[in-house]
Amino acid sequence: MKRTPFHKILIANRGEVALRIMRTARRLGYGVVAVYSDADREALHVREADQAIRIGEALPAHSYLRIEAIIAAAKASGADAVHPGYGFLAENEDFARACRDAGLVFIGPSPEAIKAMGNKAGAKDIMRAAGVPCVPGYQGVDQGEGAMFAEAERIGFPVMIKAVAGGGGRGMRLVTDAAMFLDTLRSARSEAQGAFGDPTVILERAIADPRHIEIQVFGDRHGNAIHLGERDCSVQRRHQKLIEEAPSPAVTPELRARMGAVAVAAIKSISYEGAGTLEFLLDKSGEFYFMEMNTRLQVEHPVTEAITGLDLVELQLRVAGGEPLGLRQEDIQFSGHAIEVRLCSEDAGHDFMPQSGRMALWQMRQGIRVEHALESGSEISPFYDSMIAKLISHGESRDQARRQLIHGLEQTAAFGVTTNQGFLIDCLRHPVFAGGEATTAFIGEHRDELLAGTKDPSSEAALAALLLYVTDRNAPPWRNGRTLAVAFPLPVRLELDHGSYDLEVVRERDGGYLASLGGNAHRFEIDDLGSDTIRFRSNDVMETAKFLRNDDRLYFLHRGVTIAVRDLTLAAPATAAATGGDGKVRAAMNGRVVAVLVKPGDKVAAGQPVMTLEAMKMEHVHTAGIAGTIAAVDVAEGEQVTTGKIVVEIEVAAAT
Render pLDDT for 104-120 as a digit per residue (tens, 0 to 9).
Answer: 999 999 999 999 887 77
CA distances from 573 to 328, 495, 569, 570, 626 (A): 69, 12, 10, 9, 21
**What is d(CA 23, CA 585) in angstroms, rounded to the nearest whole number?**
45
pLDDT confidence of residue 655: 52
Q: Are residues 318 and 240 in the same domain?
A: yes
Report if residue 130 sits inside a domain: no
If one compares 477 and 536, the residue with the highest pLDDT of the two is 536
Tens-place pLDDT, residues 399-458: 999 999 999 999 999 999 999 999 999 999 999 999 999 999 999 999 999 988 766 788
Q: Are residues 504 and 468 in the same domain?
A: yes
Q: Are residues 333 and 356 in the same domain?
A: yes
pLDDT confidence of residue 574: 55
Tens-place pLDDT, residues 49-74: 999 999 987 455 578 999 999 999 99
If one compares 423 and 139, the residue with the highest pLDDT of the two is 423
Report if residue 236 sits inside a domain: yes
DSSP state at residue 395: E
Tens-place pLDDT, residues 567-578: 998 876 655 555
User: Which of 119-133, 290-304, 354-368 has the weakest average pLDDT?
Assistant: 119-133
Residues 465 and 426 sit within 8 Å (Cβ to Cβ): no
pLDDT confidence of residue 656: 39
Of 541, 567, 593, the last residue of a domain is 567
If one compares 334 and 125, the residue with the highest pLDDT of the two is 334
Report if residue 246 sits inside a domain: yes
Tens-place pLDDT, residues 493-522: 999 876 889 999 998 888 899 999 988 899
**What is d(CA 540, CA 525) in angstroms, rounded to the nearest whole number?**
9
User: Which of 202-206, 248-252, 423-427, 484-488 has the weakest average pLDDT?
Assistant: 484-488
Check whether 550 has a pLDDT greater than 90: no
Average pLDDT, the chain: 90
* Active site members: 296
Taking residues 163-176, what's their average pLDDT?
Answer: 81
The single-letter code of the amino acid at 189 is R
Check whether 313 has a pLDDT greater than 70: yes
Taking residues 194-209, what's their average pLDDT?
Answer: 87
Q: Are residues 433 and 288 in the same domain?
A: yes
Of 156, 178, 205, the last residue of a domain is 205
Report if residue 408 sits inside a domain: yes
Q: Are residues 223 and 354 in the same domain?
A: yes
Check whether 562 has a pLDDT greater than 60: yes
Report if residue 3 sits inside a domain: no
Report if residue 120 sits inside a domain: no
Tens-place pLDDT, residues 224-242: 999 999 999 999 998 899 9
Residues 481 and 511 sit within 8 Å (Cβ to Cβ): yes
| Burial readout 572-607 (b: 16 or more C-beta within 10 A, e: otherwise) | eeeeeeeebebbbbbbbbbbbbbbbbbeeebebeee
Q: How many CB atoms lie within 10 A of CB 654?
A: 7
Could you give the dihedral angle defined by the CA atoms of residues 417, 422, 366 and 334, in that order, rounded to the nearest 10 degrees? -120
| Burial readout 190-225 (b: 16 or more C-beta within 10 A, e: otherwise) | bbbbbbbeebbbbbbbbbeebbbbbbbbbbbbeebb
pLDDT confidence of residue 73: 97
pLDDT confidence of residue 519: 81
Which residues form the domain of 143? 136-205
